[in-house]
Amino acid sequence: MAAQKELLEELRIRRDDAPRQKTPRWLLLGIAAVIVLITGFWWQRTTRAATVRTAPVRESSAGGSGRVLNASGYVTARRRATVSAKTTGKVKDVLVEEGLTVKEGQVVGRLDDATASVNLALAEAQLNSTRQAVQETEVRLKQANITLRRTNSLVAEKVSSQSALDTAQSDVDALEAHLNQLREEIAVAQRQVGVRKQEMDDNIIRAPFTGVVISKDAQPGEMVSPISAGGGFTRTGICTLVDMSSLEVEVDVNESYIARVHPRQRVEATLDAYPDWRIPAYVFTTIPSADRQKATMKVRIKFDKLDARILPDMGVKVAFLEESSPKAAAPHSRVLIPKAAVHNEAGRDVVYVVLGDTLERRAVTLGNPEGEDVAVTAGLSAGELVVIEGPPDLANTGKVRVQ
């Protein structure tokens, strides 16, 4: 019995003697790498600041002036000139650069005046020669008068003949006539010198009015001409000058709506470069001529106050305003935001408001659109910042940085 029991004990498998199965090391390393990647991605999404562009929520008055017409055009200058010389010549110096402010009469360039200088020297020499001839003739006339008086005495004493007296008299008359001619020639020579000096002065190019240089059109060594020379090697001016105090807006209005525009009408202008800046302006005049090709009429608009940000040839959008009736209801405030700030999510209009460095998703109630803006009747307050441009996954963005 004891022998059988010992035999059974030898056949029993003990748990401590069974071989242990170890987890492969590469599997453990892979799991750790996946955990690190997930943690890093989560940390980057929660700590990296996304760049967004914002626009302020603006307050407006619903009972004030309303927009009756929208149009677009460009900023233009009433005083703009291509500064050129009076004569054709080669450029010697250009004394201006783009962006430089010049005063009226300031020298902006010079032409080569070598030929004009030689002509002036020649005219002055001719003037001096004529003056010398006058002095010589005056001496000869003085001597002729002495001879005439002497001959006259001799004729009175019957020592000389009448013929000699006539000859002496004719000599005096001839010299007086020649002297008068020379004096006229002096006047002509003086005027000739004046012409040559004017030619010298014409080689100096001056600013016709006070303004800002917006382009430099010629370089030293090039030819300039006040008229087109029929080729690509001759410039027509030294620079282009603009009087910044004469900036205004010109817009084309469809002739079907021109009745809505009248002088002194209030206008709200918006530059394409600064879409959030509303510039007060007014209608100056309507040019009494229509464009038959486009069926439009040109309207001139002046700014209430000029600003350094307003530059020639900038694109601008204008809204013609209509003054409210005195019997109209009292105005109530409302706010405006750019249309780009509104998103439609699940059938609701929402915006993203920047609060410090985070975003808040907020549902809003929209009113009527006004050009590039839209009115908000509920959900926003004036002064808040709304996102108008950001990453595609704006709803999942953590921190933000305003551009």
- The Cα–Cα gap between 368 and 362 comes to 19
Percent of residues, the chain, with pLDDT higher than 70: 81
**Residue range 178-196: average pLDDT?**
89
- The Cα–Cα gap between 207 and 52 comes to 46
Here the tokens at position 293 are 């090709």
Here the tokens at position 19 are 């071989």
Mean pLDDT of the chain: 81
Question: What is this structure's pTM?
Answer: 0.56
pLDDT at 18: 47
Structure confidence at residue 49 as a pLDDT band (50, 70, 90): low
| Helix 114-156 with 162-202: angle, nearest 10 deg | 170
Judged against a pLDDT cut of 70, whether residue 189 lies above it is answered with yes
Q: Residue 109: beta bridge partners?
A: 94, 205
248 Cβ contact list (under 8 Å, min separation 6):
75, 76, 77, 78, 284, 300, 301, 302, 303
**Residue range 148-167: average pLDDT?**
81
pLDDT at 327: 39
pLDDT at 176: 86
pLDDT at 149: 84
Judged against a pLDDT cut of 70, whether residue 110 lies above it is answered with yes
How many residues does the structure list for the chain? 403
Q: Are 295 and 311 in contact (CB under 8 A)?
A: no
Least confident of 67-81, 344-358, 383-397: 383-397
- The Cα–Cα gap between 401 and 100 comes to 37
* Residue 332 vs residue 114, higher pLDDT: 114
**Residue range 172-191: average pLDDT?**
88
Least confident of 8-22, 164-178, 375-389: 8-22
Q: Which residue has the tokens 């999404």?
A: 45
**Residue range 363-368: average pLDDT?**
80
**Residue range 8-14: average pLDDT?**
58
Q: Residue 322: beta bridge partners?
A: 66
Q: Are 270 and 277 in contact (CB under 8 A)?
A: yes
- The Cα–Cα gap between 290 and 337 comes to 36
pLDDT at 330: 42
**Residue range 208-236: average pLDDT?**
82
**Residue range 150-174: average pLDDT?**
81
Distances in Å between the Cα of 73 and the Cα atoms of 70, 169, 201, 251, 263 are 10, 85, 41, 4, 18
The C-alpha angle with vertex 71 and arms to 66 and 75, in degrees rounded to 5, equals 115
**Which tens digits make up the pLDDT trace of 293-348?**
888 999 999 999 999 899 999 999 999 987 654 433 444 456 888 888 888 887 88
**Residue range 156-167: average pLDDT?**
80
**Which tens digits make up the pLDDT trace of 199-208?**
899 899 999 9
Structure confidence at residue 213 as a pLDDT band (50, 70, 90): very high
The candidate with the shortest Cα–Cα distance to 103, out of 202, 224, 217, 241, is 241
